[in-house]
Amino acid sequence: MSKKTVASVLVAGGGIAGMQAALDLANSGFYVYLVERSPSIGGTMSQLDKTFPTNDCAM
Amino acid sequence: MSEGFEPKIVAFACNWCAYSAADLAGVSRFQYPPNMRIIRVMCSGRVNPNFILKAFESGADGVLVAG
Amino acid sequence: MEKCIACGACSEKCPQKVSNEYDAGLNKRKSIYVKYAQAVPLKYSIDSDTCIFFKKGKCKACEKLCPAGAVNFEDKARELTVNVGAVIIAPGCEVFDPVTYDVYGYGKSPNIVTSLEFERILAATGPFGGHLVRPSDHKEPQKVAWIQCVGSRDIHAGSQPYCSGVCCTYAIKEAIIAKEHQKGGLDTAIFYIDLRTYGKDFERYYNRAVDSKVRFVKSKIAGIVTDPTTQNQVIHYIDEAGRRVEETFDMVVLSVGFKVSQEAVSLAERLGVDLDQYSLAKTSDFQSVKTSRPGIFVCGSFQAPKDIPHSVIEASATAAEVESVLAQSRGSLVKTKEVPVEKDVRGEDPRIGVFVCCCGTNIAGFLDVPLVVEYAQTLPGVVFADKNLFSCSQDTQEKMTDIIREKGLNRVVVAACTPRTHEPLFQETVLNANINKYLFEMANIRNQCSWVHSNDKDAATQKAKDLVRMAVSRVSLLEPLYDPEISMNHAAMIIGGGLSGITAAINLAEQGFHAYLIEKADVLGGNALKIHKSWQGEDVQQRLAEMIGIAGSHKNISVLTSTELKKVDGFVGNFKSTVETNGAEQVIEHGVAIIATGALESKPDQYLYGTEPNVLTGLEMDSRFNDKGFSAKGIKSAVFIQCVGSRIKERPYCSKVCCTQSVRNALKLKELNPDMDVFIVYRDMRTYGLREALYREARAKGVIFIRYDFEKDLVVDKDNGNIRVSFTNYALQRRMEIKPDLLLLATGIIPIRENPMASLFKVQVNDDGFFVEAHAKLRPVEFATEGILVAGLAHCPKPIDESIEQAKAAASKASALLSKEKITVEGVVSRVDEAYCVGCGRCEEACPFNAISLETRENGEKISHVREALCKGCGSCAAVCPTGAASVFHFDDREVLCMVKTAFE
């Protein structure tokens, strides 16, 4: 590959998967645009009360 | 115990759980009596028995270690 | 948006109430709102679809009330163009809307709710404040039922044929939690088809539910009818024996599955990404995060239905893919900040500045801020005190920096909200004024004072004064600290040369890092060498050979076969490991380590295994299929027995892969010899997620599935030279006998006993013998000790696609470390004063992070030593130290006790 790549990434979706991908990329030296439709990130996981099988608080 | 007795409470709260729970109580606007003083520590494991004795010595009526 | 201080005044006064989608429509929110209290960003926004101003052209109550001038009705949606090197799509899924189906009665009674609505009912932040009540009359229910597979495993129009993969375990969770809510003994029943608790520790969770008397009813639901007077629900169902049964419940929870959203489909279409028959993103087993379009990757439930840890793993896997594609430009767009030079203030008398925040009216509205300021000015060491309207706003930050410089302050207290969210911001303010960031303290007079004592202004003011006094006494004792930096060796060591290890090595090599791939056997490949096909039918041997070829020839990979790890020294960034290859030792230096040591297929000591040549395990069957000479012509009948040695008392976990493997192999036998009678004798068919399609196909092609009663004997013996399998049919409760030519035992996966990695790296294994990750949900590939990662079967049983994903995830976590020249660790760490240390070792025992170890000095005395890189500053060592030798920077005894002493006047 001789063409220079662009060191930024667009992540569409701010749920748990999108947030984790964005965090990993940012920690690894890439610029990330995390795009979410609703006013805040968190996705479905933020609506859960507890999570299995540890009964940890989802928040 | 007389009726007007207001205990003074010192609370040692773990930064990661109990302290943030106290913050959440605020966000939720829960009301509780104003006679507790929270001291933030990085882990409730930091609290050694001496801290608790010192709290009583300094006039506390109760000590809460939460984490 | 920058101006919003999230005080909530706008929302409180907004006259427009609308259905709250966050609480699954169970209550109302305002048109100007935040989704939930912990939302990020914590900024109110106007929902223009319902806002009165946007609909009728007047109102703007929020604009008038906003103390920060943050409401802007002119704001418009804008289109932005960004130039990126790769795209990751993670749009997630919706839940199935059960209103489509009459049979579940959803919408006919408020007491029939979806599982997501039930989550909100249980949540402390939910519509009923965490009290478990029925929506119809707010009374506590006595009997709650869960109906599984609502909208999943259902081929009717509107439903999904796949298994959603999460509902069985979440229903168990909801039942357990509901029981905890209702102290009076809530009766809970889960109506299911197959109980699919296949994940790590899920089977234990299921057993726990059984022990706490959650009822599990294998059934087919015929209908749910609401009693209009009581609002109770009568569930009509057919039990396993085919009897019609009905039972009444106060409340019914519908365990709804995943459904692709229209938005996700249209996003994929706009991006030109191919979808599969379920409208999920199309992927393959070996490239499970790559979409059909190069440069676009997918993760989360839009890839396939999955739970949280799997989503997290997959997300990191997409990151690893992107990191390897864009490796050459890494770091070119990252902004680095200039760090201001710090003034040395050691030895100076404290010159403390106190800033008391009004937070608009959030603090000033409930306590007397000027009085607190006045009081602060009288405290020892305080040379400046004033109030700020909003301490966190940009202009105030600059003002504070100027004041610190002008007044020559050397320590700062901000009395405002919570340090948990705002300490880093103010530490930066202090640093910008050339003061060490640790010479700063916050007094939490909002979250823990004005907001919780809003009815008693005098008491709140007094408490705020006390909190400021405590903070001032502490800040005057604080010492400057410097975050230690540790250097990073850019190589990774991967222990285990199976599919996971090879995958991690290749990804890291493509990212430009060196990987040492250590394998005990004389060839790479591990268990995958025996597997015939992945679940979607990809040729495992062909793919594996390609990967071994890449690993063997890549300049960044050193493959060390017939090699064992003997000794590990050091810590993240600086490991020195001794390995032995055929008797020769060498030391390898590396920055991170990935443990991918795999697991084994269990070999049974029952069911004629080992004595009868036609009794095989799953992998042995796979190996036969790999053998080109294999013929199934002479085999007239075959029986698969599931859960041999799995889900038993001694091994209470599900091996996850065996159901799918048996179904796939049953199909293969049918393909080779369509006349063969093939039986699968099972407990619960766990063809989870999209694998359900295989189960359906197998039934369609005539594979016969029989559920056996696990509590009753399953016997395999010989009868006139034939293999005979006899067991109790669960539905009929009658003994059955089959005499197959071929008997396949689905024996499950067992960990490597006493895996030396556990002691070499000081990492934990669970009761089953698999490694324990740092956090079951959010850190599924990391260990609590930094720089050590886990992937593949060593972590828990999982199929090929998930092992590959986890290996990539581990590579992504590794690259976050390896890509740095140095890593900074927190300055708040422990120290041991050698003069006082008696070498008792209590600190070493107390440390949860393996950061303290006893070392022997030349004179033979033992002394404890802190490895700052591993220390998290929890202070457990200081708490147990009998001599006071161990203490924590920033939280030493004096720094804590001064607050105790000044807590009450």
Report chain B residues whose CB lies below 8 A from the CB of C876: 43, 45-46
- If asked whether residues C528 and C547 sit together in one domain, one would say yes
Sheet holding C742-745, edge to edge: C615-617, C742-745, C637-641, C677-682, C704-707
Range C6-26 average pLDDT: 89
Residue C182 pLDDT grade (very low, low, confident, very high; cuts 50, 70, 90) = confident
Q: Is C742 a domain residue?
A: yes
Give tens-digit pLDDT for C602-639: 999 999 999 999 999 999 999 999 998 899 999 999 99
Q: Is B47 a domain residue?
A: yes
Question: Residue A56 pLDDT more than 80?
Answer: no
At residue C503, the pLDDT reads 98
Lowest average pLDDT, out of C80-89, C475-484, C592-601, C807-816, goes to C475-484
Phi first, then psi, for residue C59 (nearest 5°) are: 145, -85
Sequence-distant (6+) residues with CB within 8 A of C894 are C477
Cα–Cα distance, C305 to C309 (Å, whole number): 12
- If asked whether residues C609 and C592 sit together in one domain, one would say no
Can you read off the two tokens belonging to residue C893? 């005894």
Q: Is C773 a domain residue?
A: yes
Cα–Cα distance, C599 to C578 (Å, whole number): 23
> Is B41 within 8 Å of C891 (Cβ atoms)?
yes
Q: Closest chain C residue to A59 measured between Cα atoms?
A: C38
- If asked whether residues C656 and C722 sit together in one domain, one would say yes
Residue C894 pLDDT grade (very low, low, confident, very high; cuts 50, 70, 90) = very high
Interface test with C, best of B17, B20, B41 (most C CBs within 10 A): B41
Residue B3 pLDDT grade (very low, low, confident, very high; cuts 50, 70, 90) = low
Cα–Cα distance, C220 to C230 (Å, whole number): 25
The residue segments making up the domain with residue B36 are: 9-66
Count Cβ atoms below 10 Å from residue C238 Cβ, excluding itself: 13
Cα–Cα distance, C705 to C719 (Å, whole number): 23
Residues of chain C above pLDDT 90, percent: 84
Mapping DSSP to helix (H, G, I), strand (E, B) and coil, where does residue C460 land? helix
Q: Is C68 a domain residue?
A: yes
Q: Which of C34, C87, C320 sits opposite A10 (nearest CB)?
A: C87
At residue C566, the pLDDT reads 97
Q: Is C237 a domain residue?
A: yes
Mapping DSSP to helix (H, G, I), strand (E, B) and coil, where does residue C491 land? strand
At residue B23, the pLDDT reads 87
Give tens-digit pLDDT for C568-596: 988 899 999 999 999 999 999 999 999 99
- Final residue before a domain boundary, out of C259, C280, C311: C259
Q: Which of A12, A39, A53 sits opposite C89 (nearest CB)?
A: A12
Range C371-396 average pLDDT: 93
Cα–Cα distance, C136 to C689 (Å, whole number): 34
Residue C857 pLDDT grade (very low, low, confident, very high; cuts 50, 70, 90) = confident
Q: Is B33 a domain residue?
A: yes
Count structural domains, chain C: 6
At residue C280, the pLDDT reads 97
Report chain C residues whose CB lies below 8 A from the CB of A54: 201, 776-777
Question: Residue A59 pLDDT more than 90?
Answer: no
Question: Residue C905 pLDDT more than 80?
Answer: no
At residue A1, the pLDDT reads 45
The residue segments making up the domain with residue C897 are: 826-902
- If asked whether residues C766 and C787 sit together in one domain, one would say yes
Range C60-73 average pLDDT: 90
Which residues are C558's β-sheet partners? C516
At residue C393, the pLDDT reads 81
Give tens-digit pLDDT for C324-361: 999 999 999 988 777 889 999 988 999 999 999 998 88
> Is C647 within 8 Å of C656 (Cβ atoms)?
no
Is residue C172 less than 8 Å (CB to CB) from chain A? yes
Question: Residue C4 pLDDT more than 80?
Answer: yes
- Final residue before a domain boundary, out of C259, C275, C299: C259
Sheet holding C514-518, edge to edge: C557-560, C514-518, C491-495, C592-595, C788-790
CATH number at residue C864: 3.30.70.20
Q: Is C106 a domain residue?
A: yes
Range C216-235 average pLDDT: 95
Give pTM, 2 decimals. 0.87
Q: Is B51 a domain residue?
A: yes
Report DSSP letters for C72-105, one per residue.
-TT----------SEEEE----EEP-GGG-GGGT
Question: Residue C176 pLDDT more than 90?
Answer: yes
At residue A51, the pLDDT reads 87
At residue C158, the pLDDT reads 86
User: What average pLDDT does chain C have?
Assistant: 94
Phi first, then psi, for residue C550 (nearest 5°) are: -65, -45
> What is the 3-state composition of chain A as percent helix, strand, coil, each rounded to the nearest 5?
25, 25, 45
Q: Is B4 a domain residue?
A: no
Report chain B residues whose CB lies below 8 A from the CB of C37: 24, 27-28
Count structural domains, chain A: 1
Q: Is A1 a domain residue?
A: no
Report DSSP letters for C186-230, one per residue.
-EEEEEESS----STTHHHHHHHHHHTT-EEEEEEEEEEEE-TTT
Give tens-digit pLDDT for C695-716: 999 999 999 999 999 999 999 9
Beta strands at C734-738 and C722-729: parallel, antiparallel or unpaired: antiparallel
| Residue carrying the six token digits 């956090």 | C775
- If asked whether residues C193 and C220 sit together in one domain, one would say yes
Residues of chain C above pLDDT 70, percent: 100
CATH number at residue C773: 3.50.50.60
Q: Is A16 a domain residue?
A: yes
Report DSSP letters for C123-182, one per residue.
STTSTTTT----TTT-PPPSEEEEEEEETSS--STTS-SS--SSHHHHHHHHHHHHHHH-
Q: Is B2 a domain residue?
A: no
- If asked whether residues C60 and C106 sit together in one domain, one would say no
Is residue C786 less than 8 Å (CB to CB) from chain A? no
> Is C819 within 8 Å of C812 (Cβ atoms)?
no
At residue B1, the pLDDT reads 45
Range C188-200 average pLDDT: 97
- If asked whether residues C543 and C634 sit together in one domain, one would say no
Cα–Cα distance, C179 to C122 (Å, whole number): 11
Beta strands at C485-487 and C822-824: parallel, antiparallel or unpaired: antiparallel
Question: Residue C842 pLDDT more than 60?
Answer: yes
Tell me the nearest-neighbour CA distance from A49 into chain C, angstroms.
5
Range A31-47 average pLDDT: 93
Strands (E), C288-338: 296-298
Count structural domains, chain B: 1
- If asked whether residues C379 and C445 sit together in one domain, one would say yes
- If asked whether residues C717 and C808 sit together in one domain, one would say no
Question: Residue C92 pLDDT more than 70?
Answer: yes
Q: Is B1 a domain residue?
A: no
Tell me the nearest-neighbour CA distance from B7 into chain C, angstroms.
11
Most confident of B19-23, B54-58, C421-425, C859-863: B54-58
- If asked whether residues C831 and C812 sit together in one domain, one would say no
Cα–Cα distance, C777 to C795 (Å, whole number): 13
The residue segments making up the domain with residue A16 are: 8-37
Q: Which of B29, B39, B58 sits opposite C451 (nearest CB)?
A: B29
Q: Is A46 a domain residue?
A: no
Q: Is C678 a domain residue?
A: yes
Range C139-168 average pLDDT: 95
